[in-house]
A and B are shown apart, each in its own frame.
Chain A
Amino acid sequence: MKTAPLTESAAPGTDDAPLLEVRDLSVCYRTGRAASWRRTDTPVVDRVSFDVRPGETLGLVGESGSGKSTIGRTILRLVDPVSGTITFDGREVTAFGRSTPLSYRRDVQAVFQDPASSLNPRHIVRDAITGPLRRHGRGSRKEREEAAAEAFHMVGLNPALLTRYPMELSGGQRQRVAIARAIALKPRLVICDEAVSALDVSTQSQIVNLLADLQESTGVSFLFITHDLRLVRHISQRVAVLQHGRLVEFADTEQLFRTTRQPYTRRLLAAIPATDPEGREHRRARRAAHRKAPNTT
């Protein structure tokens, strides 16, 4: 059974003008070796539409291979789409051509998953912040260094760490640096691609709270890409669920977690391990019954 891609009508209330609008986005990856004479284009994102409003956190969830990261990378213009449009603040991103306007590079930033490789091991961490500032023509060298210290302050890092190398910092600290780099340019949208997945629970909650605080004080929007539904419920106002490159559901968080009728979303939700052992036999039995039921897919 093939589900038709969701159309705009499925999107929840759209009274706010969206900051980012993704329409019918399709992306293909070339498979096969680069040297192979016969390449096939495998669709990894198939006609996906959603939008992000100013000051909102949108959760983009899906299992591995759902295409969630590819969507983020397409918005960041690290991957080219096959079809569809991405509109940011009224400007069509997909029509930019080869070069990306500097203003877009300022407005849209990213925080990636792996704190170990998101900073250049050969540079002190301050460079990660001052480099982009210089590119965007922000102030003198001294002012840029002050701005870096300010960004460190905002993410709760001691400015004494500015001159350290990434190797000297812990995973959580590195991820804070990555966030400081992203917010230093005062962006309007930050793509968080599994930004807390590699962290331990106690560190993860620190970073999640930090993101919420930053949103409160700066009004930045987050596209929060993750496989962790539990986290999504905490931090996002709306959720888009992906399966095999297709958008299967796009709804308000509360609504989705409470009343979804979408079969795949329900399966995902049923699979989340609860943190309370109460009633687990019942949940197990229900899952078993569901699995034993004749294959509907």
Chain B
Amino acid sequence: MGKLIAYRLVLALPQLALVSLLVFFLTYLVPGSPAAAILGAGATPESLAQVESDLGLDQPFAERLVEWFGAALTGDLGLSYSNSLPVSDLIAERLPATLSLVGGGLVFAGVFGILLGVLAALRPGPLDRAINGVTSLGLAIPEFWFGLILSLVFAVQLGWVPVVAYTPLAEDPAAWFTGMILPSIALGAPAAAMVARQTRGAMAKSLRAPYIDSLTAVGVPRTRVVVRYALKNAMIPVLASTGLTLRILIGASFVVETVFAVPGMGELLLHSVIGKDFPVVQGAVLVVAVLVIGVNLVLDVGYGLLDPKVRSQ
């Protein structure tokens, strides 16, 4: 087990290093200098040079790379071009909302997706076809539009939940929960459809496996065979693709949050993209990458717990 964790960790490090390198190169890919982007059209050459030296942009490339990496390792992601606040603070402020949203979406997707997928696999025929129809539709619906419709119906028209609803968890857990219901459903619905399809396929496959017959043949009841054996085998591929689901959820959360006015990373990212505020873009990309890689690491280890073949490799 320890070896597995160490192995995954060693695989994750170059991935992280590559991502950060890519992120660092971002500034070099932009046409024109960041100084020009900050000062706008009317800047004089003197002021440009001044800003460049303030930002350390006149340093040699290698030096800047080392410096940026060193700072990033200590959690210092630089200062925002637009308001000179530390990027790490800006991100730390927004991260909880994004995590709440993504977590809610993941729970929704996992619970409903697995439920629908198992049902579809167990009941071929009308129910399977109906669920297939629902998941097809789910995969075609853009999260943010679904969010718009949900808020229109349940918040604006019916008034069951407040329109602008985000309350930090630390402030009021109950309000946080009610506020998260609609956004989580909007965000999680397409992911749930995806999980449902994976689960259905994996479940159908494990239900056809010979071990189902051998257990049935010694008298193990059907429900026990399905729940204890088929489901556990089916969950392995589903869990293996949770990393992908999570990545999609994070991306989609940037849009869904604008629909529900949740103060998450998306808005920050959007503003910095429009304002060419590169330290913030870099920081946000890096933080998300670290997050995804970290969760993937945890998932891989969890996957190893479930699949003995991986564990003993």
Contact = CB atoms under 8 A, between A and B. Distances in A.
A78 interface: no
Interface string A8-52: 000000000000000000000000010111000000000000000
A35 B7 CA distance: 10
Interface string A152-174: 00000000000000000000000
Chain B interface main SS type: helix
Chain A interface main SS type: loop
Interface residues of A, number: 4
A37 to B, nearest CB: 7
Contacts of B11: 35
B10 A37 contact: yes
Contacts of A37: 10
Contacts of B313: 33
Nearest to B10: A37
Closest 4 CB pairs of A and B: A35-B11, A37-B10, A36-B7, A33-B313
Nearest to A37: B10
A197 B7 CA distance: 40
A37 B8 CA distance: 11
Contacts of A33: 313
A35 B10 CA distance: 11
Interface residues of B, number: 4
A33 to B, nearest CB: 7
A35 B300 CA distance: 15
Interface string B93-111: 0000000000000000000
4 contacts: A33-B313, A35-B11, A36-B7, A37-B10
A36 B313 CA distance: 11
A33 B313 CA distance: 9
Nearest to A38: B7
B7 to A, nearest CB: 7
B265 to A, nearest CB: 31
A36 B8 CA distance: 10
Contacts of A35: 11
Nearest to B11: A35
A181 B69 CA distance: 60
Interface string B295-313: 0000000000000000001
Nearest to B7: A36
Contacts of B10: 37
Interface string A185-213: 00000000000000000000000000000
Interface in B8-65: 10-11
A36 B10 CA distance: 10
A31 to B, nearest CB: 10
Nearest to A33: B313
A213 B10 CA distance: 58
A29 to B, nearest CB: 16
Nearest to A35: B11
A224 B7 CA distance: 42
A39 to B, nearest CB: 13
B21 to A, nearest CB: 20
B9 to A, nearest CB: 12
Contacts of A36: 7
A36 B310 CA distance: 13
Interface in B74-92: none
A20 B11 CA distance: 45
Contacts of B7: 36
A30 to B, nearest CB: 14
Nearest to A36: B7
Interface in B159-208: none
A258 B10 CA distance: 57
A230 B83 CA distance: 84
A262 to B, nearest CB: 35
B255 to A, nearest CB: 34
A37 B14 CA distance: 13
A36 B11 CA distance: 9
Nearest to A32: B313
A130 to B, nearest CB: 39
A219 B7 CA distance: 55
A161 to B, nearest CB: 33
B6 to A, nearest CB: 11
A32 to B, nearest CB: 8
A33 B7 CA distance: 11
A136 B265 CA distance: 63
A155 to B, nearest CB: 36
Interface string B269-313: 000000000000000000000000000000000000000000001
Interface in A273-292: none
A33 B10 CA distance: 14
B93 to A, nearest CB: 38
A63 B114 CA distance: 43
A33 B11 CA distance: 12
A100 B11 CA distance: 37
B18 to A, nearest CB: 14
B112 to A, nearest CB: 34
A36 B6 CA distance: 12
B50 to A, nearest CB: 48
